[in-house]
A and B are shown apart, each in its own frame.
Chain A
């Protein structure tokens, strides 16, 4: 009887001790007004350069809505643990290909992972990634799939020869954790080891936010605000931490300028 109890107690003790060491990270990515304004301005610039028809005008009934920005699709989040070993490849990821875009505009995977591009459009597509020799244009019909391996780390822009506006990003990076972000920008990472981490946010072909944080305890929260589409926010965030006085002075200067402009 004692032996039986001992056998039953061992996994409970091990499990308890393990759960005590793991941390659940709750993150929240939010978008500042400035970011949305920049995005809208950038979209307008893009639209100017876009090839389109003869007419493009507001409907005249209701103001034009702001640019749609889907945090679950338009950004990618990667978390790196300092000193961590190279992660294992992800299991095969199925990614739907819509008519005008990928199911997710940004997909973050680990190197040596495979993505299965599944066509969910009634129109043929010819996806390719410029610079990736094994991802050349190839006709793909509805409901067919095309597996592509991403062996090495890198940023790959996915395009379509038949739909020139088509755009998506595959980011192969040796991240310790790749959290799924929902539409509201929230994400959760469980079973994180204690230690120092770096969180990065990818948007439109580049990392625009890089934030260091330390994980300890059972629960950890992190909030990231996207301030600048060009990625300058990250550096300013650093500046604010490292040289708060300078940042404050700059802010004051900006306010003064704004006031002058208003006058």
Chain B
């Protein structure tokens, strides 16, 4: 199982690395997108600042045509010089202003005012004009224009916000008033400033105008989405100190947006009027949506052959290691167990064939079988039966012996010694195997010692362990001769069956049985089993 476990570890490490790389790649992509959108946003901000500056300049420039108009200047000069005749000149001035305002085309003012030298509004015109007679004295831009300055501004008048341009009116080298030009901030106006981003104007927490980029490709935020960060501006220190907020991320219904909120350049900034630029930003990639985000082209370009091949290779290797270390030993164990069905009742699994857990299973199996066998034996003893009565013609000596064969593939097939509980009774009389139905004594090989005829003397009784006695050697040679003879008789090859190997096996079994049963001698019987020569070790107690 070691390799399987190691393989599993490798796979887990590989999977963890893959997931880590995937997450890093996801974060990288998200950061890249964010940075790209941020750079785009700042670019838009710069573009818009330029656009606003140029727009203000343009308004001031087109206003020259009004402030320098002969009718306008002459009428305003008349009013300045003869204040008492203001009502006489006012209609003429209004006509002149209306005409000039119409000529302004796309810069046509929503509010065009002619202001007298004292700051009083002499005439108003435009769709959003107010009534005459009110004073704009004290308004900084008006005061500046009356002194000779050309100035733009932004005013919040009521709920409306106007982009203001003001110019002095000069007649005969004298300042005779000023013209104030106002464009109302509307959605249409806000749309003029950028084709690639949304521009919005707000006052306090209320959106005044939201532009719509001409380009269809630009995602547009909803009004509620754009206005959502407005409430947070009050607590934004950067907004207060630098007149521009930090970047706000707006979570839209379908799309996220980045927005920056700036105070407007003009008096209206003191009324909380500002403008916002909003650009779309892709939503962060999730691991679950990475294939959708990648697109079909990227998916098609993946090295599918390598990926599938690698995956299959990993699966096959995993299966192989699993078969090699788990299924194969289990299968082997299963076969061995099934083989026991046809084997001697005392035969057990050779646990040394198995490793680790399978060996533990085999040992456990052997123990259980031994236990069950003992129960059976006890039951028989209580019922007055003997083994022969239960097993019939079977050789009862096997109950206390270990059977083994000599074959090329089972040279070291050493059965585990039976448990101590199954030790045969001291008077158990070993019975020679039944060979071909009748009692067959093994034929000693040529030059071998004389075959034994009766119960053979158990060997090893007075021999120190590890040092074979002369009798034992003779006995082993005798058994070897019998075994070789039987094998020859049964047509089995005997070329590999040397006495030295045979002796080693016999000693190994002898020692095992001695250790298990505490017997002093072990007897070996040669017999035929399933057409093959077999050898059985039988403990002999004094």
Residues of A participating in the B interface, judged by any CB pair closer than 8 Å: 47, 50-59, 61-68, 98-101, 105, 120-124, 162-167
Subset of 20 A-B contacts with CB under 8 Å: A53-B153, A54-B52, A54-B56, A56-B149, A57-B150, A58-B148, A62-B148, A62-B170, A64-B148, A65-B148, A68-B146, A98-B134, A99-B136, A100-B140, A100-B143, A121-B135, A122-B131, A122-B134, A162-B271, A164-B270
Q: Are the CB atoms of B60 and A55 closer together than 8 Å?
A: yes
Q: Are the CB atoms of A62 and B138 closer together than 8 Å?
A: no
Contacts of A53 in B (CB 8 A): 56, 141, 151-154, 164, 265-266
CA distance A139 to B136 in the complex (A): 19
For A53, A55, A124, the residue with the greatest tally of chain B CB atoms inside 10 Å of its CB is A53
Contacts of A55 in B (CB 8 A): 53, 56-57, 60, 150-152
For A61, A62, A100, A164, the residue with the greatest tally of chain B CB atoms inside 10 Å of its CB is A100
- Chain B positions 142 through 170: 1 when the CB is less than 8 Å from some CB of chain A, otherwise 0: 11101111111110111000001001101
Q: Are the CB atoms of B270 and A98 closer together than 8 Å?
A: no
CA distance A64 to B154 in the complex (A): 22
**The 7 residue pairs across chains A and B that have the minimum distance between CB atoms:** A101-B138, A100-B138, A164-B270, A53-B152, A100-B139, A64-B148, A98-B135
Contacts of B148 in A (CB 8 A): 58-59, 62-65
Q: Are the CB atoms of B135 and A61 closer together than 8 Å?
A: no
Contacts of A98 in B (CB 8 A): 119, 134-138
Contacts of A63 in B (CB 8 A): 148
CA distance A147 to B146 in the complex (A): 32
Contacts known (A52-B141, A54-B265, A55-B56); A100 close to B149, Cβ less than 8 A: no
Q: Are the CB atoms of A121 and B151 closer together than 8 Å?
A: no
CA distance A120 to B76 in the complex (A): 23
Chain A's closest residue to B151 (CB) is A56
Contacts known (A59-B149, A99-B139, A120-B135); A54 close to B144, Cβ less than 8 A: no
CB distance from B128 to the nearest CB of A (A): 11
CB distance from A105 to the nearest CB of B (A): 8
Contacts known (A54-B56, A101-B137); A124 close to B158, Cβ less than 8 A: yes
Chain B's closest residue to A73 (CB) is B137
Q: Return the contact of A59 from the options B56, B131, B167, B267 (Cβ within 8 A).
A: B167
Contacts of A123 in B (CB 8 A): 130, 157-158
CB distance from A80 to the nearest CB of B (A): 30
Contacts of B151 in A (CB 8 A): 52-53, 55-57
Is residue B62 within 8 Å, beta carbon to beta carbon, of the partner chain?
no
Q: Return the contact of B149 from the options A54, A58, A99, A164 (Cβ within 8 A).
A: A58
Is residue B337 within 8 Å, beta carbon to beta carbon, of the partner chain?
no
CA distance A124 to B170 in the complex (A): 31
Contacts known (A51-B269, A59-B167); A99 close to B135, Cβ less than 8 A: yes
Contacts of B134 in A (CB 8 A): 98-99, 120-122
Chain B's closest residue to A66 (CB) is B147
Chain A's closest residue to B147 (CB) is A65
Q: Are the CB atoms of A165 and B152 closer together than 8 Å?
A: no
Is residue B193 within 8 Å, beta carbon to beta carbon, of the partner chain?
no
Q: Return the contact of B267 from the options A47, A51, A62, A121 (Cβ within 8 A).
A: A51
CA distance A58 to B144 in the complex (A): 9
Q: Are the CB atoms of B147 and A67 closer together than 8 Å?
A: yes
Is residue B175 within 8 Å, beta carbon to beta carbon, of the partner chain?
yes
Q: Return the contact of B144 from the options A47, A124, A163 (Cβ within 8 A).
A: A47
CB distance from A254 to the nearest CB of B (A): 30
18 new A-B contacts at CB < 8 Å, known A53-B151, A55-B60, A56-B152: A51-B266, A52-B141, A52-B266, A53-B141, A53-B154, A53-B164, A54-B52, A55-B57, A68-B146, A98-B119, A98-B134, A99-B138, A100-B119, A100-B138, A100-B143, A122-B130, A123-B158, A124-B158
Is residue B173 within 8 Å, beta carbon to beta carbon, of the partner chain?
yes
Q: Are the CB atoms of B142 and A100 closer together than 8 Å?
A: yes
Contacts of A50 in B (CB 8 A): 140, 267
Contacts known (A54-B152, A57-B149); A47 close to B140, Cβ less than 8 A: yes
Contacts known (A68-B147, A99-B138); A52 close to B267, Cβ less than 8 A: yes
Contacts of B147 in A (CB 8 A): 64-68
Q: Are the CB atoms of B271 and A100 closer together than 8 Å?
A: no
CA distance A56 to B267 in the complex (A): 13
Contacts of B53 in A (CB 8 A): 54-55
CA distance A20 to B57 in the complex (A): 67
CA distance A122 to B134 in the complex (A): 7
CA distance A55 to B163 in the complex (A): 12
- Chain B positions 422 through 444: 1 when the CB is less than 8 Å from some CB of chain A, otherwise 0: 00000000000000000000000
Q: Are the CB atoms of B267 and A164 closer together than 8 Å?
A: yes
Contacts known (A62-B148, A62-B173); A52 close to B153, Cβ less than 8 A: yes
Contacts of A54 in B (CB 8 A): 52-53, 56-57, 152, 265
